[in-house]
Chain A
Amino acid sequence: MKLFPLYKVPIRIFQLGVVLLTLFAGCATAPRPALPALPTDLPSRVELGEVPFYPQQERQCGPASLAMVLEWSGVAVDFKTLSGQVFTPGRAGTLPPDMISGARRNDRVAYPINSLPVLLREVSAGHPVIVLQKLPRLWSSDWHYAVVIGYDLESEEIFLRSGDRSHLAMDFYDFESTWQAWHRWGLVTLAPGTLPADSQESVYVKAVLGLEQTRHWASAELSYEAALTRWPESRSAWIGLGNSRYRQGNLAGAVTAFQSATEFSPQSGVAHNNLAHVLAEMGRRGEALTAARQAVDAGGPHAATFRITLNEILGH
């Protein structure tokens, strides 16, 4: 048996290196994600320097990011309290829904952002946006919240307050690839009565509904009113406005709102039903009966409830 000659070892190692490099070269260049078409009417460079900066402590990127945008929107933030509202010890982190409920518990409308064009539009309108990124590490990856405070269309960069950096520039492609990991989760926190730059009626009304459900009736009322300045015929906003006013004991205001809802959506059984209730409570029995009958006529998934309302007013 002929032995492998020792002098050939360095040559073999060199050959092995060449072969491995050739094989791995294909893995090294990942394709860049395609960017969506960006709006053409945006200012070319924006940086919201007025957004406060909270350097992140250990695993506290969620509370720190939320603190920055809440303080920007006018909330006096107590970091420890806020952390208790959103941080989950068992997960050593913050779950996205807790960022939403955390914003609402601090009396802010939590408006979701899910695409780069909408994100840039909000930032250009002066609204910082919290984003959830999946940052690559050597052996794994980390979920990380940061706040987008600006962008530059020419250099294709996003500016963030991230971790312990008050200004981190990240190119559009890297940003997109880290942001898309969790459905491009983004969040704007708006003071009650202010609107996002993005114009989606149902998304905004649902965001206000979350505030209403958190029992911030007065703030919900203000925000529904704001929604109606942009979408004057929104049935949902009129009904939400009526309910928020009713919760604050403003019966006359509730009647006005429900009446508007029935004017713009005569087929809405809920609007007629709630109108009937408030009218009956005010002792306007005749009008209440008319509204209750209209609700029953409208029918729909809540028809059973409408009949109960009618019977109650009839005194059955």
Chain B
Amino acid sequence: MQLFRTVPLLVAIIFLSATTFPSLSWSEMLDTGTALATQDARAKVLAQMERAEVVEYLAGQGLSQAEAESRINSLTDEEINSLAHDIDQYAGGHFDDSDDAKAMIGVLIGAAILVCLALCLILLI
């Protein structure tokens, strides 16, 4: 996945930063997710970018922007991280059935080779 893509992406990041981690009256109070993850600010920014990318992906799959954001805002940074990683695998089919297609081609080629071998054997008999 490309990290730096378009202006809308950056807008989405800013928007998500505001919605996912609403500012407290004391801006330096740390949320529980931060306390648990012991991650630094850079990891946090990366998670925000991943959120924006996942929202963009879902919005391209027939969901409204608001619905895509509601779904993503209900996930923790750790879950976003693994989702961003999995999206490449989702992209192929209903999840990814391309493995099946590859396996099927393998089976067909294997069967063809076996038939040839069998024919050779018979002609030798």
A binding-site residues for B, Cβ under 8 Å: 12, 15-16, 19-20, 23-24, 84-85, 88-93, 95, 97-98, 100-102, 104-105, 139-143, 182, 205-206, 209-210, 212-214, 236, 239-240, 243-244, 246, 268, 270-271, 273-274, 277-278, 280-281, 300-302, 305, 308-309, 312
Assembled-state Cα–Cα distance A142/B61 (Å): 19
Chain A binding surface, main DSSP class? helix
A101 contacts which chain B residues (CB < 8 A)?
70-72, 74-75
B95 to chain A, nearest CB (A): 5
Within 8 Å by CB of A273, from B28, B32, B61, B75, lies B28
A73 to chain B, nearest CB (A): 17
A17 to chain B, nearest CB (A): 9
- Is A91 a contact partner of B61 (Cβ separation < 8 A)? yes
- Is A281 a contact partner of B25 (Cβ separation < 8 A)? yes
Assembled-state Cα–Cα distance A4/B122 (Å): 13
- Is A281 a contact partner of B62 (Cβ separation < 8 A)? no
- Which residue of A has the minimal Cβ distance to B115? A20
> Chain B 106-125 against A: per-residue CB contact (8 Å), 1 yes, 0 no?
00000000110111011001
A30 to chain B, nearest CB (A): 13
A237 to chain B, nearest CB (A): 9
A95/B97 contact (C-beta < 8 A), A206-B36, A301-B39, A302-B30 known: no
A239/B26 contact (C-beta < 8 A), A95-B90, A105-B70 known: no
B9 contacts which chain A residues (CB < 8 A)?
none
- Which residue of A has the minimal Cβ distance to B38? A301
15 A-B pairs besides A20-B114, A88-B62, A302-B34 with CB distance below 8 A are A84-B67, A89-B62, A95-B90, A97-B75, A101-B70, A101-B75, A140-B97, A140-B101, A210-B74, A210-B75, A210-B79, A213-B74, A240-B35, A270-B35, A274-B30
Assembled-state Cα–Cα distance A230/B20 (Å): 30
A92 contacts which chain B residues (CB < 8 A)?
94
- Which residue of A has the minimal Cβ distance to B82? A97
- Which residue of A has the minimal Cβ distance to B79? A97
- Is A88 a contact partner of B35 (Cβ separation < 8 A)? no
Whether a CB of chain A sits under 8 angstroms from the CB of B29 is yes
Within 8 Å by CB of B61, from A90, A100, A268, lies A90
Whether a CB of chain A sits under 8 angstroms from the CB of B73 is yes
Assembled-state Cα–Cα distance A24/B104 (Å): 15
A141/B121 contact (C-beta < 8 A), A89-B61, A209-B76 known: no
The 6 A-B residue pairs whose C-beta atoms are closest, nearest first, are A90-B61, A89-B62, A101-B74, A270-B35, A90-B62, A240-B32
Assembled-state Cα–Cα distance A92/B62 (Å): 10
- Is A105 a contact partner of B74 (Cβ separation < 8 A)? yes
Within 8 Å by CB of A243, from B31, B83, B114, B121, lies B31
